[in-house]
A and B are shown apart, each in its own frame.
Chain A
Amino acid sequence: MPPESPTEPSHLPHSYLIAAAASALTTALLFTLFPRIEQANVAMLFLAALIPVAMKLGRGPASLCAILNVIGFDAFFIEPRFTFVVEDLRFWITFAVMLVVGLLLANLTAGLKAQASIATERERKTRGLYELARRLGAALRNEQIAESVEELITEQGLGDAVLLFPDEHRRLSPTQKRMPMLDLHLAQWCFDEGRSAGIATSTLAAGPLHYLPLTASVRTRGMLVLDPADSRSLESAEQLQHLQTIAALAANALERTHFVAVAQDTLVQIESQRMREMLLAALSHDLRTPITSIMVIAETLATSDTVEGEARTELLTSLRRQTQGMARLVTNLLDMARLETGERPLRLDWQSLEEIIGSARQALADQLRGRKLTVNITPDFPLLHADGVLLERVFVNLLENAVKYVPADMHMGISARTEDDTAVIEVWDEGPGMTGRNLERLFHKFTRGAIESSVPGVGLGLTICRAIVDAHGGAISAANRPDGGASIEIRLPLSKPPEWTQEEESGTHE
């Protein structure tokens, strides 16, 4: 609601009528009290009555009231009464003084009131700016800044405003908030030139809207476009300045969010850099053993003429396994890095757990040869909505770990069942189990801190398993089985299975 201009009431014709009525009322009131009150006191009271009139109705009407009061005083309280004739000429001085004092009183009081209004108005504006500054101080995103500014401008009665922000090519993007008369090209020009345009400016002043670039210390960060509440909103220099102050606050806030974003990006880059360095360190560490083995085997085969038959086959098989192990390690590390940086998004599709386990077993065919691995999947186990390649990686890693830890003649297994809307998959073995009180730490081998130099490759495998399972919205945990051996439990959320139409059975196919 636009505040009433303090001088407005004096522009209204009926203010004068009210002032005249007030004068008449005062006269009537005093008349009833006369002659108990002396003339001198009547004069004082006439003057006193001017004050409320001046405060309420302003300069003009109060001046009229002052004049009418003098006339009334003359007419009703000075002999001869009920005439304008004055017998005692000393009363002319009284009239003169009364008129002058009355007019002064009227004007000063009205002036004082006006000052008070202006002060209140200024305080309102300042409070608005203070509130805006406070809200902008807490704003983290450009949308929040836009909201706060647009709201304040509406509250302050300036009109309807919308903030425009540039994309990474410095092109302003249209906002969701509608402003029908908004000219995006003009806004873009203002943004590029850093100049304002539209109503109350020197460029395209006939336009319906006011375009104001939001420029802070470094560069223009956005545009403020105002649809003024009425044509007079921006008339006064004070109103325009008020708008510009708001714009300056907004520009500063935008600059701050910009640099916060830059700082965050830099932090992410530093993190990625650090992750890469850790992974490289892990890689060189974990590759040392297989590389050494390969070197030894290759040298043995090259230099010794006597390695034949079974011994030779064994060496060659070992060579192959070491190489495959290295390849898996490198793949793990690559995928870990890419998962962390978001470079490899999840490719979700309907997967058969049976197939994934089958593929994992295939990939580790050499390692699993001769081992007892039992797979038990409940008959009605549903399709999983998951990234097949990554889920296969989880099982490859878990089986590879089991093979490293569990003696060849001990049982290993994978079992899967559902619990309400969760798939519960367990990879278990009857081996020695896992050491350490806090088994959770097994999954954190390669986050901040030291790289554990335990069985090579184990740590990273579990860390990747966790990253992949987490990415699927699931959970992975490790525990020792009560009867001995280790158990890794994976829980994955089940999605509603897809629709499919069963074909009609036609008996044994002919």
Chain B
Amino acid sequence: MNDTTSMSILIVEDEKEIRRFVRGALTDAGWKVIEAGTHHDGLLEAGTRKPDLIILDLGLPDGDGVDFIRELRSWSTCPVIVLSARIDETDKVRALDAGADDYIEKPFGVGELLARVRASLRRTHPGLDEKSAIHFDDVVVDLAKRQVTKAGEPVHITPIEYRLLTALLAHPGKVLTHRQLLKDVWGPGFIEHNHYLRIYMGHLRHKLETDPTQPRHLLTETGVGYRFVL
């Protein structure tokens, strides 16, 4: 398990109650918390204190969260999790495509918050490259041998299915947008071809999930993308 306890997390949120709640949850889990109430202060703190993760509320009154992300991304690769009020899934997709790493929908619970934070922190620290195999349920994905087995039996996976699977496995717990997946697996010319994703994710679910209509690892984030959870 990565040692993330010395890390600091910046929360950019104008509502005091939410800031208090998140601060409490994060400090209980052992992280340091920095607070900012506006985009302007948020960017300042991000620049000076250099946090390891930023939690940004998309509904801040003093600007567009997507602009904040773009501005930030021009000089920082710090992971960003956006808080959205679920008005519209396009807000989340825009934020993710602009450079955010994940999102949490309000209202959310502590468990969900911590899971997303850990998943995003994991990204910047050694992940897939160091592992030789990934296990979930009774599935084993052997990255060295490029083989997949379920309940000990080999599973026939096509090259594209394998590429898709490993793209998801590389960011456990994190959402990947349709656009990102299509670009990574098929190439930039396919970013409008969501139906490929649907078809291939369906194949993967049927091959690897115990109940494809109730997936536990290859999750769908409707309107946004997909998420692999261990």
Contact: A354 with B212, CB < 8 Å? yes
A351 — which chain B residues lie within 8 A by C-beta? 198
User: Contacts A327-B107, A331-B86, A361-B214 hold; do A392 and B146 have CB atoms under 8 A apart?
Assistant: no
CB-based contact B156/A509 at 8 Å: yes
Q: In the docked arrangement, what's the CA distance between A350 and B182, Å?
A: 14
Cβ B215 vs Cβ A509 within 8 A: no
Residues of chain A at interface, number, CB under 8 A: 36
Residue of A nearest to B106 (CB): A327
Q: Is there an interface contact between A347 and B212, defined as CB atoms closer than 8 Å? A: no
Choose the segment among B5-13, B42-50, B188-196 that binds chain A (4+ C-beta atoms closer than 8 Å): B188-196
Q: Tell me, rounded to whole Å, the shortest Cβ–Cβ distance linking B141 to chain A.
A: 11
Per-residue contact bits, chain B 88-100, to A (CB 8 Å; 1 contact, 0 not): 1110000000000
Residue pair A508, B196 in contact (C-beta under 8 Å) = no
Q: Are B146 and A510 in contact (CB under 8 A)?
A: yes
Given the known interface contacts A358-B220, A362-B219, the answer about A350 and B160 at a Cβ–Cβ threshold of 8 Å is no
Please tell me if B147 contacts chain A, counting CB pairs below 8 Å: yes
Q: A43 to B87: give the CA distance in the assembly, Å.
A: 102
B98 CB to nearest A CB, Å:
19
Asked whether B198 lies within 8 Å of A350 as measured between CB atoms, the reply is yes
Q: Are A359 and B195 within 8 A (Cβ)?
A: no
Segment among A261-269, A437-445, A474-482, A498-506 that sits at the interface with chain B: A498-506
Determine if A352 is an interface residue (Cβ-Cβ < 8 Å).
yes
The answer for the CA separation of A510 and B157 in the assembled complex, in Å, is: 9
Query: Is A509 within 8 A of B213, CB to CB?
Result: no
Per-position contact with B for A322-336: 1 when CB-CB < 8 Å, else 0? 011001000100100
Knowing A355-B201, A359-B220, A375-B214, the reply to whether A506 touches B158 (Cβ < 8 A) is: yes
User: How far is it, in angstroms, between the C-alpha of A323 and the C-alpha of B147 when the chains are bound?
Assistant: 44
Query: What chain B residues lie within 8 Å of A377 (beta carbons)?
Result: 213
B74 on the A face (CB < 8 A): no
Q: How far is the CA of A392 from the CA of B219 in the complex (A)?
A: 14
B202 at the interface (CB under 8 A from A): yes
Q: Is the C-beta of A61 less than 8 angstroms from some C-beta in chain B?
A: no
CA distance A189 to B154 in the complex (A): 79
8 Å CB contact of B146 from A356, A357, A509: A509
The answer, yes or no, to whether B22 is at the interface (CB within 8 Å) is no
Q: Which of B196-230 contact A (CB under 8 A)?
A: 196, 198-199, 201-202, 205, 212-215, 219-223
Task: Scan B139-174; emit 1 where CB is below 8 A from any A CB, else 0.
Answer: 000000011100000101111111000000000000
Asked whether, in the complex, the Cβ of B154 is within 8 Å of the Cβ of A508, the reply is yes
> CA separation between A497 and B198, bound complex, in Å?
12
Cβ of B187 under 8 Å from chain A: no
Please tell me if the beta carbons of A352 and B201 are within 8 angstroms of each other in the complex. Answer: yes
* Chain A residue with the shortest CB-CB distance to B196: A500
What's the least CB distance linking B138 to chain A, in Å? 18
Q: How far apart are the CA atoms of A211 and B146 in the complex, in Å?
A: 78
**A503 CB contact (under 8 Å) in B107, B160, B202:** B160
A217-B14 Cα distance, complex, nearest whole Å:
53
Docked Cα-Cα span, A320 to B148, in Å, equals 38
Complex: A509 Cα to B86 Cα, angstroms: 40
Q: Restricting to A465-510, which residues have a CB under 8 Å from any CB of B?
A: 497-498, 500, 503, 505-510
Q: Which residues of B contact A320 (CB under 8 A)?
A: 109
Residue contact A500 to B199, C-beta cutoff 8 Å: yes
**Is A388 interfacial (CB 8 A cutoff)?**
yes
Q: Counting CB contacts under 8 A, is A349 at the interface?
A: yes
Chain B residues positioned under 8 Å from A349 (CB to CB)? 194
A383 touching B159 in the complex, CB below 8 Å, given contacts A331-B86, A347-B223: no
Cβ–Cβ contact A356 & B222, under 8 A: yes
Q: In angstroms, how far is the closest chain B Cβ from the Cβ of A411?
A: 15
Contact B156 A508 (CB under 8 A): yes
CA distance A318 to B79 in the complex (A): 34
Q: Does A389 contact B (CB under 8 A)?
A: yes
Which residues of chain A from 344 to 384 have any CB-CB distance to chain B below 8 Å in the complex? 344, 347, 349-352, 354-359, 361-362, 375, 377, 383
Min distance, Cβ B15 to any Cβ of chain A, angstroms:
16
CB-contact partner of B148 in A324, A334, A355, A509, under 8 A: A509
Q: List 27 A-B contacts (CB under 8 A).
A: A327-B107, A350-B194, A350-B198, A352-B198, A352-B199, A352-B201, A352-B202, A354-B202, A354-B205, A354-B212, A355-B220, A355-B222, A356-B220, A358-B215, A358-B220, A375-B213, A377-B213, A383-B199, A389-B223, A500-B193, A500-B195, A500-B196, A503-B158, A503-B160, A508-B156, A509-B147, A509-B148
Q: Which residues of B contact A (CB under 8 A)?
A: 86-90, 107, 109, 146-148, 154, 156-162, 193-196, 198-199, 201-202, 205, 212-215, 219-223
User: Other than the known A323-B107, A359-B220, A510-B146, what 8 A-B pairs have Cβ atoms closer than 8 Å?
Assistant: A352-B201, A354-B205, A355-B198, A498-B193, A500-B196, A506-B158, A509-B148, A510-B147
